[in-house]
């Protein structure tokens, strides 16, 4: 069995459909990368140029950050794909636990006393 595990394959067992699907996937990944680069440039520009008021720039960059977060998770890390039910559950659990903790720390350390 261990021989089977460490034996390279002469070819891939992918069907034509799967091959086509993977090509499409590659294109989507490159597009989402270009999108992320664009988002990053936008958030840096919105802070570094003086013309955009702070009241708008801060929520705007947080929103761009959230969009990038989802692009990374769902596209680069494949959370959008099927058979990712458990990974989604694990990661969502992490986010659910994280939220009150983050708020509590900001309030306790930052507002109550530091």
20, 24, 25, 80: which one binds another protein (CB under 8 A) = 25
Q: How many residues does the chain have?
A: 114
4, 50, 51, 82: which one binds another protein (CB under 8 A) = 4
Write the CA distances from 109 to 79, 96, 99, integer angstroms: 34, 21, 16
Residue with tokens 């992320």: 36
Q: CA 14, CA 20: separation in Å to the nearest integer? A: 10
Q: How far apart are the first and last CA of the chain?
A: 59
8, 16, 50, 82: which one binds another protein (CB under 8 A) = 8
**Residues in binding contact with another protein, number by CB under 8 A:** 64
Residues in touch with another protein (CB under 8 A)? 1-2, 4-15, 18-19, 22, 25-26, 29-30, 33, 36-37, 40, 43-44, 47-48, 54, 57-58, 61-62, 64-65, 68-69, 72-73, 76-77, 83, 86-87, 90-91, 93-95, 97-99, 101-110, 114
């Amino acid at each position: 069995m261990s021989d089977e595990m460490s034996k390279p394959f002469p070819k891939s067992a992918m069907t034509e459909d799967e091959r086509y699907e993977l090509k499409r996937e590659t294109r989507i990944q490159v597009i989402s990368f270009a999108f992320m680069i664009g988002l990053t440039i936008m958030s840096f520009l919105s802070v570094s140029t003086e013309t955009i008021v702070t009241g708008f720039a801060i929520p705007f960059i947080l929103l761009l950050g959230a969009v990038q977060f989802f692009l990374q998770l769902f596209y680069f890390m494949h959370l959008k794909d099927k058979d990712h039910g458990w990974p989604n559950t694990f990661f969502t659990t992490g986010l659910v636990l994280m939220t009150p903790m983050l708020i509590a720390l900001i309030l306790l350390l930052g507002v109550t006393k530091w």
